[in-house]
Amino acid sequence: MSKQTYKVCFCFQRRFRLAVSEAPDEIKNLFQRYSENGIMTVDHLHRFLIDVQKQDGATREEAQAIIDNTLHELKHLNMFHRRGFHLEAFFKYLFGDNNPPLNPSLGVHHDMTSPLSHYYIYTGHNSYLTGNQLSSDCSDVPIKNALNRGVRVIELDIWPNSTKDDVEVLHGRTLTTPVQLITCLKTIKENAFTASEYPVVITLEDHLTPDLQAKVAVMVTQTFGDFLFTPGSECLKDFPSPESLKKRVIISTKPPKEYLEAKEVKEHGSQKGKASDEEAWGRELSHHKVSNASEDKNDLNEDDIDDEEDDDIDDPKSQQNAAPEYRSLIAIHAGKPKGGLSDCLKVDPDKVRRLSLSEPQLVKAAETYGKEIVWFTQRNILRVYPKGTRVDSSNYNPMIGWIHGAQMVAFNMQGYGRSLWLMHGMFRANGGCGYVKKPDFLLKASSLNEVFDPKAKLRVKTTLKVTVFMGEGWYFDFRHTHFDAYSPPDFYARVGIAGAPADTVMKKTKILEDDWLPSWNEQFEFPLTLPELALLRVEVHEYDMSEKDDFGGQTCLPISELRSGIRAVPLHSRKGERYKSVKLLMKFEFV
């Protein structure tokens, strides 16, 4: 047998051998401190929950339930001891599914009685597309998937069909194949409240004639019936609360009159003197880069903008006799007032509305009007949407929208990538209900001069210490040759923060060679100026010297709800689906 053949055979043997997972030294030391004669009793565990896990309200009964449940699960491994945990059982409990980083018993715990404008809302963009923005199929399936994940804002682009007698949903002026509007509406009704009972907003990009608008009004009222929220007045003075709108469907679009005006301005040019103001804020400078952008492909380079809300029907004059029954359905009025951004951001004390900006428009606007945007979003709704060059359905860094108070940061939910992982992470908060209360600093101000300034330098409020002990599960969830053909994987972890510019950072552990059970035992510190907005990013990759590193899992967690102590952190696929077995053992401390 040649030396090379011997090496290959030896590696094949190694690849299928899985060592027994062993508790890290810190876990062993803690067990010794909180046990006696090799057994951790109920009283010991109770003290551990309070001292180490920082569960101040933990009771002895809860400790007993943890022991009972864990030992019941471990009976087949002969880890049962009637008085409590021995080391292996304690380690299995810490690394088990019943010790997650977010508290599942919290459920919806934010105040849900404030106006809609006080919440970040889980928002989809072109919610009907199955893939890219140019040639993919339009379908109700991605709408169903988004609603079942907890998305609360569904966007539909509505167009006349080829015979002009019915309404279809498609991405206009592209090769996307259409789906009937009624199909989408029925799917929304069937799935609107499976994941959350809080309201669903349907944003309509309307390209219809008045007769088809009337047809849409009939479809919507017949489909949703009593679920439909109609304000009964021309404009809302204040937005209702999510609590008052439970199990209601809300329509948001431009009223027909505003469509006509927007189209005329677009076709014939704005008035003299206003064009320069529009140009000053509406176009991204060619040298400008999005700060703190995600690492998604194409996040940094394109400079053009897409104003999708001005992309209206070809014959604006037909809007003059718009169907009144259609207009009466609109609960959240959208549109851009005439003039520049300073006019768009004026706050009307007598009515509220929705304004939409593309991602580069927001970036440019934030340079000069950051405080005005925050002031505007305290009463009104700001929607941010991807620029038109994202034909691959990629997304952008949502943090610039969130730090300015934008409620509807609209994302292509059918894709994947680091930006979308942040979106998933944000809306794991508040029981996954799709509404997250904005931090107080974005809501409390008595005047524009006192409003939060996103550009201000802030002091550190707290520091998060993160220890990455070890990981497991890849051996069971991946093919044994997935990472390396002839040897176990070489894993490393990346840990960091997405948040305010001063807080945003990524760090990584050392690479551990040939190990299905990597044990890094490394600690990182993250000073946080705005912990209320921060998300913890966790990724695992497998080092590859000659090619791109292989992906091994990710998660993103809202730091505002992160539990202190030693926790088992489940990892997810690129598409955000949780792996069955892959997880990390980590420790979180706030100092």
pLDDT in tens, 270-292: 443 333 322 322 222 233 333 33
Q: Among 44, 46, 125, 424, which one carries the catalytic annotation?
A: 125
384, 496: one domain: no
Q: What is the mean pLDDT of residues 249-262?
A: 76
413, 515: one domain: no
Asked if residue 182 has pLDDT above 80, the reply is yes
Helix (H, G, I), strand (E, B) or coil at 183: helix
Q: Residue 470 has what DSSP assignment? A: E
61, 123: one domain: no
Nearest to 376, CA basis, from 454, 290, 442: 442
Ramachandran bin of 373, using left for φ above 0, alpha for ψ from -120 to 50, beta for the remaining angles: alpha
Residue-wise pLDDT for 109-124, tens only, equals 999 999 999 999 999 9
Q: What is the mean pLDDT of residues 515-529?
A: 98
**Which pair of tokens denotes residue 475?**
């051996």
Tell me the pLDDT band of 83, cut-offs 50, 70 and 90.
confident
Distance CA 542, CA 539 (A): 10
> What pLDDT is attached to residue 445?
80
Which of 94, 124, 143 is a domain's end point? 94
444, 463: one domain: no
Q: Which amino acid would we find at residue 110?
A: H
**Interstrand relation of 535-542 and 491-498 (parallel, antiparallel or unpaired):** antiparallel
Ramachandran bin of 393, using left for φ above 0, alpha for ψ from -120 to 50, beta for the remaining angles: left
Q: What is the mean pLDDT of residues 73-89?
A: 78
441, 481: one domain: no
309, 163: one domain: yes
66, 188: one domain: no
Give, in degrees to the nearest 5, the angle at Cα 110 between 374 and 191. Answer: 95
Distance CA 579, CA 104 (A): 18
Least confident of 36-45, 144-153, 196-205, 306-315: 306-315
Q: What is the mean pLDDT of residues 493-509?
A: 98
Which of 404, 421, 450 is a domain's end point? 450
Distance CA 477, CA 578 (A): 11
For 19, 241, 262, 392, 582, the CA distances from 357, given in Å and listed in that order, are 53, 24, 15, 20, 39
Is residue 107, in this structure, part of any structural domain at all? no
8, 27: one domain: no
Distance CA 24, CA 39 (A): 18
**Which pair of tokens denotes residue 459?**
């002091």
Q: Which domain holds residue 37?
A: 22-94
The three-state DSSP-derived secondary structure of 335-352 is CCCCCCHHHHCCCCCCCC
Pick the residue with more confidence: 205 or 82?
A: 205
Tell me the pLDDT band of 309, cut-offs 50, 70 and 90.
low
**Which pair of tokens denotes residue 44?**
């010991």
> What pLDDT is attached to residue 339?
82
> What pLDDT is attached to residue 297?
37
161, 43: one domain: no
Q: What is the mean pLDDT of residues 470-486?
A: 95
Is residue 108, in this structure, part of any structural domain at all? no
130, 237: one domain: yes
Identify whether 125 is a catalytic site residue: yes
> What pLDDT is attached to residue 266?
53
Dihedral angle over CA of 125, 128, 132, 134, nearest 10? -100
Which of 37, 59, 94 is a domain's end point? 94
In this structure, what CATH number is given to the domain that contains residue 348?
Answer: 3.20.20.190
Distance CA 243, CA 217 (A): 26
Is residue 100, in this structure, part of any structural domain at all? no
DSSP per residue over 372-409, as a string? HHHHHHHHSEEEEE--TT-TT-----THHHHHTT-SEE
Q: Where are the alpha helices (DSSP H) in 110-169?
A: 141-149
Q: What is the mean pLDDT of residues 247-264?
A: 76
Pick the residue with more confidence: 375 or 299?
A: 375
Asked if residue 417 has pLDDT above 90, the reply is yes
Asked if residue 320 has pLDDT above 90, the reply is no
Asked if residue 19 has pLDDT above 90, the reply is no
| pTM tops 0.85 | yes
> What pLDDT is attached to residue 281?
27
320, 430: one domain: yes
Number of structural domains (the chain) is 3
Q: Among 44, 171, 333, 572, which one carries the catalytic annotation?
A: 171
Is residue 385, in this structure, part of any structural domain at all? yes
Distance CA 477, CA 463 (A): 34
60, 145: one domain: no
Q: What is the mean pLDDT of the chain?
A: 88
Helix (H, G, I), strand (E, B) or coil at 424: helix
In this structure, what CATH number is given to the domain that contains residue 69?
Answer: 1.10.238
Distance CA 428, CA 578 (A): 13
> What pLDDT is attached to residue 52?
98
Q: Which amino acid would we find at residue 301?
A: N
In this structure, what CATH number is given to the domain that contains residue 512?
Answer: 2.60.40.150
Residue-wise pLDDT for 535-589, tens only, equals 999 999 999 988 899 999 999 999 999 999 999 999 999 999 999 999 999 999 9
Q: In angstroms, how far is the first alpha carbon of the chain from the final one?
A: 59
**Which pair of tokens denotes residue 336?**
């851009």
Is residue 106, in this structure, part of any structural domain at all? no
**Interstrand relation of 179-180 and 167-169 (parallel, antiparallel or unpaired):** antiparallel
Q: What is the mean pLDDT of residues 42-60?
A: 97
Distance CA 440, CA 451 (A): 11
Identify whether 424 is a catalytic site residue: no
Tell me the pLDDT band of 390, cut-offs 50, 70 and 90.
very high
Q: What is the mean pLDDT of residues 242-270?
A: 74
Is residue 463, in this structure, part of any structural domain at all? yes
Asked if residue 235 has pLDDT above 90, the reply is no
**Which pair of tokens denotes residue 32?**
């010794």
Pick the residue with more confidence: 83 or 495?
A: 495
> What pLDDT is attached to residue 449?
84
Is residue 103, in this structure, part of any structural domain at all? no
Asked if residue 485 has pLDDT above 50, the reply is yes
> What pLDDT is attached to residue 410?
98
Distance CA 334, CA 327 (A): 12
Is residue 102, in this structure, part of any structural domain at all? no
Q: What is the mean pLDDT of residues 359-375?
A: 96
Asked if residue 16 has pLDDT above 80, the reply is no
Pick the residue with more confidence: 276 or 141?
A: 141
Distance CA 551, CA 579 (A): 13
**Which pair of tokens denotes residue 151?**
């998305």
> What pLDDT is attached to residue 469?
98
Pick the residue with more confidence: 306 or 567?
A: 567
